[in-house]
Structure 1
Amino acid sequence: MYRIDKSRLAELFAAISGNQDLFLPLRKADQTNYGLWSEEECFDLDTLKTVKSAKDCFFPQSEVLYRCKNEDGKLSIDPQKLCDRPFVVFGMRACDVKAIEVLDRVFLSDPVDTFYAARREHGTIVSLACHEPEETCFCKNFGIDAAEPGADVETWIIEDGLYWKPLTEKGEALTVSLAGLLENADAASTPDAAEKAEKAVAKEQSSIREIIEKLPLSHLDLSRFKPENTMELFDSPLWEELYKPCLACGTCTFVCPTCQCYDIRDFDGGKNGVQRYRCWDSCMYSDFTMMAHGNLRTSQMQRFRQRFMHKLVYYPANNDGLYSCVGCGRCVSKCPASLNIVKVIKKMGGEA
């Protein structure tokens, strides 16, 4: 276990970014989102949930795949260079850390997505425990412990200090590189400091878990969302009732840390050639997965059903019971129609 004063966080960030990129929550235009840190930026570790998750750091909202150019009848193809620079993502909450596991199973399964794999290889995640979980949080339902967020390094902000615990080889390597800043609370060298640090973290964890137990959405019933109930859930008449407030705006998919749908498009730059790029897409849009013969899902009800069946039934059925929802609550707070996965769970789960 290690510790550093909160007043020295800017020094910590400067040290991390000395030889690699550092992404962390930044405050801009009254919103907090992940961005590339510099000394001029205003970091914000107090906001519990960034508008979007740190998914952007590993699966960008838009990225060029390759460029094509025709010069004098000769076609050249220039593939986009894969990520080869190490970077650190600091401050990810437990739900967003779990979301990376969901994305890993999609993009690192055969055939491996080389763009995503390169970023995962070069990225180190430093998580941050949730000091005060909010009413829209429901991560506990999916086996996530906000008091012990995991990742390569897990941290806690307690009073005037940040406590730091490396968990993986990447985390250990990052910790070694910061030896001049982090105060070692190892029991072998400073037993009093180690005991004090362990007690402080244990007390903080207990407080976080007490809050979570009292949250209104911490005890949802997921028992009906099982592979053996797939057709029963799929054919339920409740979908016709549930989907009607949906505006098909796609907000839920763009703030979701686990959504992985994307489109591939071409941009004609004239003399500069053509860029083929991919960008996030939404299963809630009417033209999503549209093919030459038309669309497989022709109504908004079908698209609505697909989104939640995938998160609660299809994905866990194919991934050892791992849900494709992490209970971050972003869709709960951002949906303009107050329609979200919690309402689906309550309505479908209580049908029996």
Structure 2
Amino acid sequence: MFKLPIDKLNDFFAAVSASASLYMPVDGDDGRASYKKWSEGVTLSKALNTVRSAKDFFFPQTENLCDFNRNGLNIEIIDNRTESEDFVVFGVRACDARSFTILDKVFLVDPVDSYYATRREHGTIVTMACTAPEENCFCNVFGIDAAAPEGDAACWMTEDALYIKANNEKGEKFIESVKSLLTECGSEAVEAQQNETKAIMEKLPFAGISTDYFRKNTLLDIFNSEKWAKLSEACLGCGTCTFVCPTCQCYDIKDYDTGHGIKRYRTWDSCMYSDFTRMAHGNSRNTQLQRFRQRFMHKLVYFPDNNDGEFGCVGCGRCLSRCPISMNIVKVVKTFGEE
């Protein structure tokens, strides 16, 4: 465990940015936090969560995949990737840090998504423990400890100091790059903060939610439940929940004729949209009920069935705060849990 005096925080950020691009949560004009590149004068936000998660750094909303140039019958494929710089994402919360475990199981299995893999190789995730979890938080339901976040390195901030420790080899390399500013210390202050945070988590409204129903019942029993009709009837199909979710990974691939060739790119998509996975004969999920059910079946049934029981949700609470009709995964879990 290492310690940095809080009045040296700006020097710490400057040292990090000297060898890698540094991104951190920064308050916007609307009072909400988003990740911005650090430069002199930029201040770290104290907000619990950013509007969108750190997923964007590794799986961006839109990215170019390749270009095609045609010369007669010859087609040239141009790899236009430029993701080669090292970068650090600082201040990632425990829920968002866990999301990378989920995304890795999608993008780093065969066939490996080389675009995602390259960014994961060059990116270092430095997490920040939570001290004031909010009412929408329920990461503990999925076995996530807000007071002991994962990531390459983890931080705890008190009024007078920043405490940091490495969680893996990449984290050790990160700490080594700023070690001249740090001093070794004990963990007493961190443990005291962790105990306070855990006490808060235990009192939050969703702390006692159980996912046992989805472990004990069969896929078909859950899929055919009559509860989906009632749960989905108010859904607008706007897709907001999928675009703020740190674990959603659906995308579409499109080709654009530039007039000088073809540019292939991918962009986020949403299972809540009526044209999602549309095929030549139409769409296999024609109703909002079917699309609503697909989203939550994937998070609570399909993904855990194929990934050793790990759910596809990290309890960040973004969908709770952003859904315009207040329908979210917590209501789904609680509704089925009533049985």
In which range does the TM-score fall when normalised by the shorter chain?
over 0.9
Counterpart-to-counterpart distance in 2, 1:336 and 1:5: 42
Structure-1 residue corresponding to 2:205: 216
Secondary structure of 1:25 counterpart: strand
Cross-structure match for 1:29 = 29
Deviations 1:99-139 (A, max 9, x none): 10000000011111011111111111110000100000001
- Provide the rounded CA distance (Å) in 1 between the counterparts of 2:208 and 2:257: 51
In 2: Cα distance, 1:71 partner to 1:182 partner: 58
In structure 1, the partner of 2:90 is 90
Aligned to 1:241: 230
Task: State the Cα distance separating 1:14 from its structure 2 match.
Answer: 1.4
Q: Which residue of 2 aligns with 1:142?
A: 142
Once the two structures are overlaid, the 10-residue window that deviates more, 260-269 or 296-305, is 260-269
Residue 99 of structure 2 is matched in structure 1 by 99
Matches within 5 A, 1:168-317: 168-185=168-185, 194=186, 198-226=187-215, 228-271=217-260, 273-317=261-305
Task: Describe the shift of the 1:118–1:227 C-alpha distance in structure 2 as closer, same or farther (beyond 3 A).
Answer: farther
Deviation at 1:38, TM superposition (A): 2.2
1:328-339 → structure 2 map (5 Å cutoff) = 328-339=316-327
Report what 1:189 is aligned to: none
Superposed CA offset, 1:44-75 (max 9, x none): 1x100101100001111111000122357753
Shift of 1:228: 4.3
Aligned to 2:39: 38
> In the alignment, residue 35 of structure 2 is paired with which amino acid?
Y
Given that 1:262 and 1:279 are in contact with CA atoms closer than 8 Å, whether structure 2 keeps it comes out as yes
Measure, in 1, the Cα distance between the counterparts of 2:209 and 2:215. Answer: 15
Residue equivalent to 2:48: 48
Match of 1:190 in 2: none
Q: Tell me which residue corresponds to 1:340.
A: 328
CA distance in 2, matches of 1:327, 1:144: 9
TM-score of the pair, normalised by structure 2: 0.96
Q: TM-score, structure 1 length as denominator?
A: 0.93
SS at match of 1:126: strand
Name the CA shift for 1:82/1:105 in 2 (closer, same or farther; >3 Å): farther
Residues in 2 aligned to 1:162 and 1:66: alpha-carbon distance in whole angstroms:
42
CA shift at 1:158, angstroms?
A: 1.0
Paired residue for 1:188? none
**Greater Cα shift, 23-32 or 104-113:** 23-32
Deviations 1:188-235 (A, max 9, x none): xxxxxx3xxx11101000000000000000110211102742111111
Unaligned segments of structure 1, at least 5 residues? 186-193
Q: Cα deviation per residue 1:244-295 (whole Å; 9 max; x = unaligned)? A: 1111110000000000000101222223x32110111100000000011111
Say whether the 8 Å CA contact 2:64–2:81 is kept in structure 1.
no
Percent sequence identity over aligned pairs: 52
Contact 1:227 1:313 in 2 (8 A): no
